[in-house]
Structure 1
Amino acid sequence: MENSLFIIGIVIFLALAFDFINGFHDTANAIATSISTRALKPRTAIIMAAFMNFFGAILFTGVAKTIGGSIADPATLDNGLEVVIATLLAAIIWNLLTWWLGIPSSSSHALIGALAGAVFIGAGSDHVKWSGFIDIVKALLLSPLIAFAIGYVVMTVLKWIFKNKSPHSVNKGFRFMQIITAALQSFTHGTNDAQKAMGIITFALVTSGNLDSLEVPLWVKIAAATSMALGTSIGGWKIIKTMGTKIFKIEPINGFAADFTGASVIFGATMLHLPVSTTHAITSAILGVGSAKRFSEVKWSLAGRIVITWFITIPISALLAMLIFKILF
């Protein structure tokens, strides 16, 4: 019993560490454009994002239930805690590596891939809910395409509406609007990304017999939301630089269009209880907006590197989780 409680303690620590890292890894995406256009000062943007992430995380649990039960049934796993430990270690390692390199990769992809890999190697392929896994992967792959398309349309419409206006006055107005959309995007990030650690902790509590269902306890909500908010307060300057300045020269009207698009796609997924990559949604929104502004201005070589990272994250995380499971257990 004591040994089981100790392992659960390790799982909770790792899950909250994942959320903390997610906070400075992925939230950087949500505030990058508002910082690059000087709509918000960096410190102000980070503090605002931390609060909005917290509130978003507290208010929703649908994505947590999807994470907790769509890839595997925790009640049927004899070694579920070991599976979760391997999952979290793999996802944390990949997140830290891509953060260090300044590449906006997906924490969602890392966690989903790692969980599938850990269940596969730890319990066998029969315990992986392949239909649920495929549904999640579909959402992860479709969301950036949707974000790109919406971003392109939104920016095209804004260009047409304000084509006869002074660029200076337009950008002055949209610099204020960016504050609102940056806050909204941080809120939606909390509604989706913080749920993933909640789902993993709930998964561990069910598989250990400490919970009977995938209903997320209040203390898990508060712990995950607080961890993400604290991580957000650290900031992710390398990723902010990549997202805010290196893809194309972002002006306030572009930042507004990208933030509005990203927030819409993420919150839509949250309402459908689907875990999507906030990184993918926001990056694709920026690419769509940049394409509508001027296709030739987008640095497609950098965009290509980001897209490659998107596609390799799930298989690498799965293999990493398998390796960690074999080494530790």
Structure 2
Amino acid sequence: MNGFHDAANSIATVVSTGVLKPHQAVIFAAFFNFLAIAIFHLSVAATVGKGIVDPNTIDLHVIFGALVGAITWNVITWYYGIPSSSSHALIGGLVGATIPKAGFAGLVWSGILKTVAFIVISPWLGFLFGSLMMLAVFWLCRGQTPSRTDRWFRRLQLISAGAYSLGHGGNDSQKTIGIIWLMLIITGYIDAAATAPPYWVILTCYFAIAFGTMFGGWRIVRTMGQKLTKLKPVGGFCAETGGAITLFLASSFGIPVSTTHTIAGAIVGVGSTQRASAVRWGIASNIIWAWIFTIPATAIMAALVYYLSLLLF
């Protein structure tokens, strides 16, 4: 579901600029999602598995509530074409299901505050890097004809799209790795001091996000690639490169950021360098409201599912 919902983050720009056809784009993105398994350390997985809630205070009812709450929110936002964050839906679900079980003492506030801070920081970093890339390209290509520039950036956008899909796979797949790692700890299958989960967990989660990406959440692709601002290959390259830089930095520090927030910020950054009216600010404001509501909405749903789980099982 994470790959399906967030496929738009990897493919929206490369599809909307016409560099790749939709079916080519999802296969391309899925390949790089999976390739990230060979590149990124499990820093983000460790944050989600041990740095959001205390493994000693929760049980499988909490995990069930967190996952169902996050998946429900993803289905709702996908249906309405709203690019919300799967990452923060998962974090909100964990927090919401933990509080009924263990109270606020079950939360690891340092990890939560770091994650919440990057709700604001990651789109601004995407905005900054995307706009700086666009300004740099304007300066470097100032003597070139539009057709020549377009031809070059159609090729270069394949590199930037691959880089962003790598960052997407490396950050987002690790959140699910962290959840399964947490389940294995609380059920006693592995020791809490273990520095990594079993390799089958890592392999399956990277495969799952790539598999989900191949189905593509097309409703969100239209919002990100067409409604937010009109992108050309040069803009797509700058947005993807700016977003990829942000994701690579966050993953290296073990911060579970939102790939949705990051690419949306980068797209707005690219659009705003042309003129303010190039960005559809009404659409942007709707996206921001979805970001604000994601954690509390999933927390409430996860808490309700937690209580339902206790009744049923």
- Following TM superposition, where does structure 1 have runs of at least 4 consecutive aligned residues deviating by more than 4 angstroms? none
Listed as ranges, the gaps of 5+ residues in structure 1 are 1-20
Aligned partner of 2:267 in structure 1 is 286
Aligned residues: 307
Are residues 1:220 and 2:178 paired?
Answer: no
**Alignment match of 1:86 (pick from 65, 71, 77):** 65
CA–CA distance in 2 between the matches of 1:326 and 1:197? 23
- Give the aligned residue type for 1:36: S
Q: Deviations over 1:132-163 (max 9, x none)?
A: 21122112321111111221121122112222
**Structure 1 CA distance for aligned equivalents of residues 153 and 187 of structure 2:** 51
Q: 1:52 aligns with which of 25, 32, 39?
A: 32
Q: Alpha-carbon deviations, 1:1-54, whole Å to 9, x = none?
A: xxxxxxxxxxxxxxxxxxxx1111112211111111111121111111111101
Are 2:17 and 1:37 equivalent residues in the alignment? yes
- 2:214 partner SS: helix
1:25 aligns with 2:1: no
Specify the alignment match of 2:48 in structure 1: 67
Displacement after TM superposition at 1:294 (Å): 1.9
TM-score, normalised via structure 2 length: 0.95
Residue pairs, 1:219-258, within 5 angstroms: 219-258=200-239
> Which residue is equivalent to 1:14?
none
Which segment drifts farther, 29-38 or 298-307? 29-38
Q: Would you say 1:149 and 2:128 are equivalent positions?
A: yes
**Which residue, out of 140, 155, 171, partners 2:119?**
140
Q: Which runs of 5+ in 2 are unaligned?
A: none
Letter in 2 for 1:286: I
Percentage identity across aligned positions?
A: 44
Residue 58 of structure 1 deviates from its aligned partner by 5.2
1:305 has 2:275 as partner: no
The structural deviation recorded for 1:59 is 4.1
Q: Does structure 2 retain, via aligned residues, the 8 Å contact 1:58–1:222?
A: no
Q: Deviations over 1:98-154 (max 9, x none)?
A: 011111100011001110111111121111112221122112321111111221121
- 1-structure distance, mates of 2:273, 2:176: 36
SS in 2 for 1:234: coil
Residues in 1 aligned to 2:9 and 2:157: alpha-carbon distance in whole angstroms: 14
* Aligned-partner Cα distance in 1 for 2:2–2:159: 22
Aligned-pair CA distance for 1:72: 1.6
- Kept in 2: contact 1:58–1:221 (CA 8 A): no
Query: What residue identity is the alignment partner of 2:102?
Result: A
